Structure 1
């Protein structure tokens, strides 16, 4: 049972890291520190979007439209944090 807990923690940790990279990269792109036309930056950005859009899309359907500000990454990030620190340990009886 503990092995399953560790695997789920590892998966959630990877999702957490990918979301942090996506959020920071979006800031750097919006402030023109990075450029979409650079091949490496463009491919990383496309890959991150392909990974995270299936997570963000259902959240965007539920949230109200805040047109210039996308709150889906923030909500998804809070859900991952809650899963890692509160829900998963409680489900496995570790707290």
Structure 2
């Protein structure tokens, strides 16, 4: 009976439920961050080469004096991929 009343109370108060979800998300994020920081490793998955190539292109453009990057002319096998038009690159600068 108490479980049913608690579920009913959470449904009637969406703010409490949202705070519960936010707390759970923050807890899982903290655990994941602590685990990765303690392992001192970068886990490369399927997108790693793509994003590493994007960082390399930004580095090469900054080295040549170009601050903004729109076309990846030197990475991605010199194909001129326009990946920077679809993915924000400003977060890679820091």
TM-score (norm 2): 0.31
Q: Which has the higher contact order (CA 8 A, sep 6+)?
A: 1
TM-score (norm 1): 0.31
Structure whose alpha-carbon radius of gyration is higher = 2
The structure carrying a bigger helix percent of its residues is 1
